[in-house]
Amino acid sequence: MPATTDAKHCYCGNDKPFAQCCEPFLTFKDKPRSVRQLVRARYCAYALGAGHHREFLLRTWHPGTVREVSVADLTNDTLLWQGLEILRAEQRDDRGVAEFKAFYRQDENGPLLVHHERAMFHRIKGLWLYVEGQVREGTQAE
């Protein structure tokens, strides 16, 4: 079951409606201009169903590390995404880093878990790309 939103807020938790926040990125009508925007858009892609947004995820993955991604990684839509918290996002020149927590449940009645990641990004020809991340997966949210 994908994440939900209302008409007033995007799936990523931003106060803007989805159509004005992350949807233009997922539909390739615009491109994220910051690391923070890319983290939000990639979260939305997973929350709405990575299988449906596989092309966006692949296009925003650095070519040097995307080979490590399997089709199964991008079609596993069994998690129930509950929210995103960006702890910090920094960029300098064409390099960036973001630390974030993405909250999820493995089933509707399961405990709230957290995917806590420190991710690295690289901008190539004006496009921010996800390079890799250090993950503390599946820890229970406090």
Q: Tell me: the pLDDT tens digits for 52-89? A: 898 899 999 998 988 877 777 777 788 899 999 999 99
Residue 123 belongs to some domain of the structure: yes
Residue 7 belongs to some domain of the structure: no
Residue 2 belongs to some domain of the structure: no
Instruction: Tally the domains of the chain.
Output: 1
Q: Tell me: the pLDDT tens digits for 101-122? A: 999 999 999 999 999 999 999 9
Residue 91 belongs to some domain of the structure: yes
CATH number of the domain at 78, please.
Answer: 3.10.450.50
CB 1 within 8 A of CB 73: no
Q: How far apart are CA 71 and CA 83, in angstroms?
A: 24
Structure tokens at 61: 């993955």
In three-state secondary structure terms, 91 is strand
CB 84 within 8 A of CB 102: yes
Residue 50 belongs to some domain of the structure: yes
Residue 58 domain boundaries = 18-140
What percent of the chain clears pLDDT 90, i.e. is strictly above it?
69
